[in-house]
């Protein structure tokens, strides 16, 4: 029986929903005034939100959910009884363009199960991207989830058409990958990321004639880690992230709370997805990338190596490092201001601008948008001193939500 | 009192001309009434604008001009007047406009924020439906209801994006039309847009990309406020998606795992790795096995095993310490800065075929922000990796080996004695072959600049010695 396009879309969107990434930001600026259709660049646009609170920016689908691999956490593994379907490359291209013209999406995020061989699968994905870019002059965003085992030439081509490439690291520790995804090799995944980094760097260098070659994956590369499918602590997870950021110049590491899947493997528990843990990991990741924190500072607060679920990681760090507070907002360096709970990067930029016009006071900070409810115990201002508040025993209780009766679910 | 009335379209230009004119006369903000409602003029009256520019030169930074374009879209009737206040004050006090804590600057920023957000939401939430086209270009139309007067500010985005089709976006404040050129027209009644076949597909996608195990309704509503829902076709599906979510998750929990399809085992068997437990017989086999080496913990962090390279029958083997950042990424030995220095010296010494390798085959580092800081391997790690180095030596059978630095010297000779007195000498390797000891090129790079030439000359002299020793050995 031949499936309709609608049936295939239902199956292959459903199969793609466990990938956390949907970003469409940070690529080269381009638009359709000189021909073709579409535009990209700057910050991406989320065109809709689903009731799981996540945005829809890209048409996120699998080319096929047939797969020869048997990764325990994945609904598409070869041993699962899930319904299978496969788009033709033309169908993917037409869906992308028609959705784009109606302003539903910013572009395409294409992933795939592995059929026949990694190279065959990757070649089909590259063909889709080439049809969009070359045959249809598509200027929107394309994100390809590359197959790590595919040949370097195919990945090289993928990077010429796609804005972003990604390879999922999947699990924070090699041992878990070997156990839960026996056909995947952690070293192959990392080598693929290293290859993308080197190709990106090479494409940014000018040749001796001063000409720049075509930009390779201008929006960079990203990856995803599943949280809660193995026993890794938050420290393990963040350590892996720090290595990935420093080694492969990743734009983002996405954390995906392990979520029950239909027809789950018996190798994994059907847990409620640890959404708060996922949220705290994103906050910690943010602190590492934009606030100058090292893994050990964030993950070292609790001996377990896990983040505090009741407090955001910056506040938890500040409470554990009270000797460094209170900070004089009018004298502190940018680095120290960034460490004050309740001050974001934008707040800090504004404080530095305001300091040029004279001393900053409590009311100024409120106007600037600082969260003084959080910041007050940690700052000194001409009209505010926290006194003993900074060191008070009860300070943590002030921030932590009141104890709640445990829910059964 | 001077009264300025801003029209529903083209108000930015009118405000800018009037404000510049008024400021050039130093007209105080209290004596201007800014109005957006032509009807109010019937009661207000008021004096007309001065006819020509006043004596003062009026200046404003580019950032203020952009702020004007945004803030004027805000429906707050006071917005034009606050902007004029800020412009007027800026002619005397240059600081306040740049101080984010200044109350007026702050107020303008607070007016700009919801406008920017709504422009962004318009870019996101306009939904086109296809219309019958008269010519070769396809034609689309949309209806959108913004709270603020953002039509002119928000639609140039669509002109850049959808240049190869005709489209119109109708709003209660006016209509934007594009046929290769963007034009604005007075409001018209809400157009009757035909059903669009893609809408059903879009609904299918929206309903299926949603994960029922992760309900977060508040997060959805804060980003996609209800006021926009009436014009978003997919939001009709939300109640049903919400109602079914818990049951779907419960069903997933309750369902017994299905039987593994019969073909699964066949497919898996085909891919099962051939276990290579045998001791490798060739360099290629050794390299293949080393790629999956887990003898020490370094493989967890490093990208890949960096195996040696060169002609397999090379009479000279050069052993460094461990791969660095560049070697780790490319998978090849001696391609980073230290490797380049070594390769230059090897070329200068006119040494023949050489096998280049490292004592430890995985990169060891600690991440620091965007960099990876090299760390020396421990003796334990060096000992674990000896298995590979010994195999390599057995298969390449070099006549002479050069050890670069203390780690390589330890790996080859088993002696951890300080390198300085041993440099330039030949010691027996644990397997009996001769080993010439010299500096590691990365040590030379780490020395203060004035000390580098001397150390580099010592490396060059040692390589020259190596060439002579080889020649002697080969001559028999």
Q: What is the pLDDT along chain A (409 residues), one digit of tens a residue?
A: 689 999 999 999 999 999 888 899 989 999 999 999 999 998 899 999 999 989 999 999 999 999 999 999 999 999 998 999 999 999 999 999 999 999 999 999 999 999 999 999 999 999 999 999 999 999 999 999 999 999 999 999 999 999 999 999 999 999 999 999 999 999 999 999 999 999 999 998 876 666 666 689 999 999 999 999 999 999 999 999 999 999 999 999 999 999 888 888 877 776 788 999 999 999 999 999 999 999 999 999 999 999 999 999 999 999 999 999 999 999 999 999 999 999 999 999 999 999 999 999 999 999 999 999 999 999 999 999 998 888 888 888 888 877 665 555 4
B333 — phi, psi (to 5°)? -75, 150
pTM of this structure: 0.94
Of B162, B200, B258, the CB nearest to A32: B162
Chain A: residue whose CA lies nearest to B272: A183
Same domain for B117 and B140, yes or no, is: no
- Tens of pLDDT along chain B (476 residues) come to 899 999 999 999 999 999 999 999 999 999 999 998 766 555 567 788 898 999 999 999 999 999 999 999 999 999 999 999 999 999 999 889 999 999 999 999 999 999 999 999 999 999 999 999 988 999 999 999 999 999 999 999 999 999 999 999 999 999 999 999 999 999 999 999 999 989 999 999 999 999 999 999 999 999 999 999 999 999 999 999 999 998 988 888 787 667 777 888 888 888 876 666 788 999 999 999 999 999 999 999 999 999 999 999 999 999 999 999 999 999 999 999 999 999 999 999 999 999 999 999 999 999 998 899 999 999 999 999 999 999 999 999 999 999 999 999 999 999 999 999 999 999 999 989 999 999 999 999 999 999 999 999 999 999 999 999 999 998 87
Same domain for B457 and B327, yes or no, is: yes
Same domain for B147 and B77, yes or no, is: no
The four Cα atoms B278, B279, B280, B286 give a dihedral, to 10 degrees, of 110
Same domain for B27 and B112, yes or no, is: yes
Same domain for B169 and B292, yes or no, is: no
Same domain for B149 and B102, yes or no, is: no
Q: Could A357 and B163 be called an inter-chain contact, meaning their C-beta atoms sit closer than 8 Å? A: no
Q: Could B202 and A5 be called an inter-chain contact, meaning their C-beta atoms sit closer than 8 Å? A: no
Over the stretch A147-157, which tens digit does the pLDDT of each residue have?
Answer: 999 999 999 99
Note whether residue B195 is domain-resident: no
Q: Could B201 and A6 be called an inter-chain contact, meaning their C-beta atoms sit closer than 8 Å? A: yes
Rg (CA), chain B: 38
Note whether residue B319 is domain-resident: yes
- Residue B365 near residue B413 (C-beta atoms within 8 A): no
Q: Could A275 and B198 be called an inter-chain contact, meaning their C-beta atoms sit closer than 8 Å? A: no
Chain B interface, best mutation among A30, A48, A139, A202, by max B CB count within 10 A: A48
Q: Which residues contact B45 (CB under 8 A, 6 or more apart)?
A: B3
Of B202, B252, B329, the CB nearest to A194: B329
DSSP β-bridge partners for residue A206:
A212
Q: What letter would DSSP give residue B434?
A: E
d(CA B50, CA B21): 7
Same domain for B332 and B298, yes or no, is: yes
Alpha helix ranges (H) inside B126-186: 151-154, 156-161
Judge if ipTM > 0.90: yes
Note whether residue B333 is domain-resident: yes
Please state, in angstroms and as integers, the Cα–Cα distance from residue A267 to each residue in A73, A84, A232, B47, B264, following that order: 8, 22, 16, 82, 16
Note whether residue B190 is domain-resident: no
- Residue A107 near residue A136 (C-beta atoms within 8 A): no
Q: What letter would DSSP give residue B53?
A: -
Q: Which domain holds residue B347?
A: 283-475
Note whether residue B339 is domain-resident: yes
Same domain for B240 and B374, yes or no, is: no
Name the minimum distance, in Å, from the CA of A332 to any CA of chain B: 18
- Residue A191 near residue A247 (C-beta atoms within 8 A): no
Note whether residue B274 is domain-resident: no
Same domain for B217 and B319, yes or no, is: no
Cis previous bond, A326, omega within 30 = yes
Note whether residue B145 is domain-resident: yes
Q: Could A5 and B299 be called an inter-chain contact, meaning their C-beta atoms sit closer than 8 Å? A: no
Same domain for B242 and B315, yes or no, is: no
Task: Count structural domains, chain B.
Answer: 4
Checking DSSP bridges between strand B354-358 and strand B316-320, what pairing results, if any?
A: parallel
Note whether residue B271 is domain-resident: no
Chain A: residue whose CA lies nearest to B126: A103
B247 — phi, psi (to 5°)? -65, -40
Q: Could B127 and A80 be called an inter-chain contact, meaning their C-beta atoms sit closer than 8 Å? A: no
Q: Could A53 and B218 be called an inter-chain contact, meaning their C-beta atoms sit closer than 8 Å? A: yes
Same domain for B140 and B106, yes or no, is: no
Please state, in angstroms and as integers, the Cα–Cα distance from residue A356 to each residue in A335, A336, B89, B262, following that order: 18, 18, 18, 73
Same domain for B59 and B110, yes or no, is: yes
């Amino acid at each position: 029986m031949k499936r309709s396009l609608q049936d295939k879309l239902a199956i292959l969107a459903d199969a793609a929903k466990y990938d956390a990434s949907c970003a469409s930001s940070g690529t080269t600026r381009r638009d359709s005034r000189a021909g073709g259709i579409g535009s990209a660049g700057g910050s991406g646009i989320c065109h809709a939100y689903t009731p799981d609170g996540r945005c829809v920016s890209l048409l996120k689908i699998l080319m096929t959910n047939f797969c020869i691999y048997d990764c325990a956490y994945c609904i598409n593994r070869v041993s699962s009884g899930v319904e299978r379907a496969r788009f033709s490359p033309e169908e993917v291209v037409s869906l992308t363009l028609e959705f784009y013209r109606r302003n539903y999406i910013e572009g395409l995020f294409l992933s795939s199960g592995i059929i026949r061989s990694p190279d065959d699968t990757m070649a089909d994905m590259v063909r889709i991207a080439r049809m969009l870019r070359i045959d249809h002059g598509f200027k929107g965003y394309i994100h390809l989830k590359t197959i790590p085992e595919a040949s370097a030439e195919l990945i090289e081509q993928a990077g010429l058409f796609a804005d972003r490439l990604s390879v999922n690291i999947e699990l924070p520790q090699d041992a878990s990958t070997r156990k839960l995804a026996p056909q995947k090799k952690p070293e192959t995944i990392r080598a693929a990321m290293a290859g993308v980094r080197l190709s990106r760097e090479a494409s940014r260098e000018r040749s001796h004639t001063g000409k720049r070659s075509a930009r390779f994956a201008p929006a960079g590369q990203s990856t995803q880690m599943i949280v809660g499918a193995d026993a890794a602590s938050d420290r393990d997870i963040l350590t892996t992230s720090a290595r990935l950021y420093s080694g492969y110049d990743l734009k983002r590491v996405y954390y995906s709370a392990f979520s029950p899947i239909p027809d789950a493997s018996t190798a994994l528990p059907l847990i409620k997805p640890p959404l708060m843990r996922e949220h705290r990991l994103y906050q910690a990741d943010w602190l590492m990338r934009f606030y100058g924190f090292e893994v050990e500072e964030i993950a070292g607060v609790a001996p377990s190596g896990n983040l505090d679920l009741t407090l955001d990681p910056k506040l938890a760090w500040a409470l554990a490092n009270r000797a460094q507070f209170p900070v004089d907002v009018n004298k502190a360096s940018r680095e120290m201001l960034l460490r004050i709970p309740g001050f974001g990067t934008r707040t800090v930029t504004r404080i530095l601008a305001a300091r040029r016009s004279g001393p900053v006071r409590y009311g100024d900070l409120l106007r600037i948008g600082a969260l003084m409810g959080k910041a007050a115990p940690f700052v000194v201002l001409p009209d505010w001193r926290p006194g003993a508040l900074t060191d008070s025993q009860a300070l943590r209780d002030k921030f932590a939500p009141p104890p709640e009766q445990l829910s059964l679910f | 009192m001077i009264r300025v009335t801003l029209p529903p379209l083209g108000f930015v230009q009118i405000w800018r001309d009037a404000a510049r004119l008024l400021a050039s006369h130093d007209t105080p903000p209290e004596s201007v009434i800014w109005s957006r409602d032509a009807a109010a003029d019937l009661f207000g009256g008021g004096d007309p604008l001065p006819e020509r520019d006043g004596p003062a030169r009026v200046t404003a930074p580019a950032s203020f001009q952009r702020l004007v374009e945004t803030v004027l879209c805000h429906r707050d009737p006071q917005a034009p007047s606050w902007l004029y206040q800020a412009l007027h004050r800026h002619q005397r006090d240059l600081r306040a406009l740049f101080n984010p804590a200044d109350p007026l600057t702050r107020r303008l920023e607070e007016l700009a924020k919801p406008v920017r957000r709504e422009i962004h939401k318009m870019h996101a939430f306009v939904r086109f439906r296809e219309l019958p086209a008269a010519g070769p270009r396809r034609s689309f139309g949309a209806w959108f209801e913004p709270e603020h007067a953002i039509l002119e500010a928000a639609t140039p985005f669509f002109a850049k994006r959808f240049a190869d089709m005709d489209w119109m976006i109708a709003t209660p404040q006016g209509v934007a039309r594009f046929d290769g050129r963007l034009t604005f027209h007075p409001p018209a009644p809400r157009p009757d847009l035909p059903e669009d076949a893609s809408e059903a597909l879009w609904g299918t996608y929206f309903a299926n990309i949603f994960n029922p195990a992760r309900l977060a309704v508040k997060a959805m509503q804060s980003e996609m406020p209800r006021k926009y829902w009436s014009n978003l076709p997919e939001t009709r599906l939300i109640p049903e998606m919400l109602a079914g979510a818990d049951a779907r998750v419960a069903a997933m929990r309750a369902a017994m795992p299905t039987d593994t399809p019969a073909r699964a085992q066949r497919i898996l068997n085909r891919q099962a790795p051939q276990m290579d437990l045998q001791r490798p017989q060739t360099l290629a086999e050794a390299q293949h096995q080393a790629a999956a080496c887990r003898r020490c913990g370094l493989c967890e962090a490093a990208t890949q095993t960096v195996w040696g390279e060169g002609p397999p029958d090379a009479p000279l083997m050069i052993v460094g310490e461990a791969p660095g950042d560049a070697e780790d990424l490319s998978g090849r030995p001696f391609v980073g800065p230290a490797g380049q220095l070594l390769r230059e010296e090897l070329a200068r010494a006119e040494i023949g075929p050489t096998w280049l390798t490292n004592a430890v085959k995985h990169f060891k580092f600690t991440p620091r922000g965007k960099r990876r800081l090299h760390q020396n391997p421990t003796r334990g790690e060096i000992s674990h990796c000896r298995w590979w180095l010994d195999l390599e030596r057995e298969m390449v059978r070099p006549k002479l080996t050069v050890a670069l630095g203390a780690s390589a010297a330890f790996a080859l000779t088993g002696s951890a004695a300080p390198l300085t007195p041993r440099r330039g000498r030949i010691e027996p390797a644990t397997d009996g072959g001769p080993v010439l000891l010299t500096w590691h090129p990365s040590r030379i790079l780490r020395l203060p600049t004035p000390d580098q030439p001397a150390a580099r000359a010592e490396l060059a002299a040692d390589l020259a010695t190596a060439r002579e020793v080889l020649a002697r050995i080969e001559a028999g």
